[in-house]
Amino acid sequence: MEEENPDLVSKALLAEQCDRYDDMASAMKSYVLVAADKKAELTETQRNLLSVAYKNVVGARRSAWRIVRARMTKKQDDALLQETGSAYIEQIEMELESTCREVLDLLLENLLPHATSTRAVVFFEKMRGDYYRYLAEIRLGEKLEEAKKQCMEAYQKAYEKCEAEMEPADPIRLGLALNFSVFYYEVAGDKEAARQLAKNAFDEAIAQLDSISDSTYKDSTLIMQLLRDNLTLWTEESGRELDAADEEPA
């Protein structure tokens, strides 16, 4: 999309430099709505700005949610902390729900309908999977199952498309494999599927390492390292589980 509202992109860039990610997200949301009104597709730079903005907005709240829960678990006999923590957890979850729904609405109503290139479709479907995964982390019961279902659908749709139309070492494809495998491991509880997906993605990319372009080499190798780190961790955990299962009862 031609930048007919460059002030919004400029504001997003400036907000990023100031670590004001809520402002950055607001500017990019406005830009997305303008683009959708013109039925225009975002450029790769604009897609990345949108992603960075909301990832940081949500990331800060996901981190806070984990910290509060960890403190409550560690000090279960602290009645005041339990009461205060429960209220704070509820506030953080409301903020997460609101922001994730905002992103998902943008994706479903304004971004995916106008995405024509393979890279754009995969990018946005991956993003859709990510934000349903974030919702799955904080939901219970039927809402959890619905988030898991939607997450799987988005990741699967993106992965099928990128397998058919993108190179294995493409950073977008590798990033999708990384996040999809994390979903399998941490949310779906299918640890074998997680390990297999991560291994296949790493092996296929390493086979093409010499052909990675200079412009994407750094991003691709960084994600490959993260895939390998997860594989190492998950394999070690699997080994410990097998050892525990093999132990004779006392």
Q: How confident is the model over 102-113, as pLDDT tens digits?
A: 999 999 999 999
Q: Which two tokens stand for residue 45?
A: 């730079």
Distance set, CA 99 to CA 21, 123, 172, 221, 234 (Å): 12, 19, 23, 31, 30
Distance set, CA 234 to CA 161, 176, 199, 240, 243 (Å): 27, 18, 11, 10, 14
**Mean pLDDT over each residue of the chain, to the nearest integer:** 92
pLDDT in tens, 209-250: 888 888 889 999 999 999 999 999 999 887 666 555 455 554
pLDDT at 6 over 60: yes
**Is-contact 22 57, C-beta < 8 A?**
yes
Report how far residue 135's alpha carbon sits from residue 64's, in angstroms, rounded to the nearest whole number: 15
Q: With bands split at pLDDT 50, 70 and 90, how would you rate the model's confidence at 4?
A: low
Q: With bands split at pLDDT 50, 70 and 90, how would you rate the model's confidence at 116?
A: very high
Share of the chain above pLDDT 90, in %: 84
DSSP string, 156-199: HHHHHHHHHHS-TT-HHHHHHHHHHHHIIIIII--HHHHHHHHH
pLDDT at 1: 47
Please tell me the pTM assigned to this model.
0.91
pLDDT at 241: 65
Taking the CA of residue 210 as centre, how many other CA atoms within 13 Å lie in the half-sphere pointing to its CB?
Answer: 1
pLDDT at 243: 52
**Mean pLDDT calculated for residue range 65-93:** 93
Q: Torsion angle of alpha carbons 43, 49, 54, 60, nearest 10°?
A: 160
**Is-contact 96 58, C-beta < 8 A?**
yes
Share of the chain above pLDDT 70, in %: 93
pLDDT at 169 over 60: yes
Q: Tokens 């960084």 identify what position? A: 222
pLDDT in tens, 17-60: 999 999 999 999 999 999 999 999 999 999 999 999 999 999 99
Report how far residue 57's alpha carbon sits from residue 25's, in angstroms, rounded to the nearest whole number: 8
Distance set, CA 242 to CA 199, 216, 227 (Å): 20, 39, 22
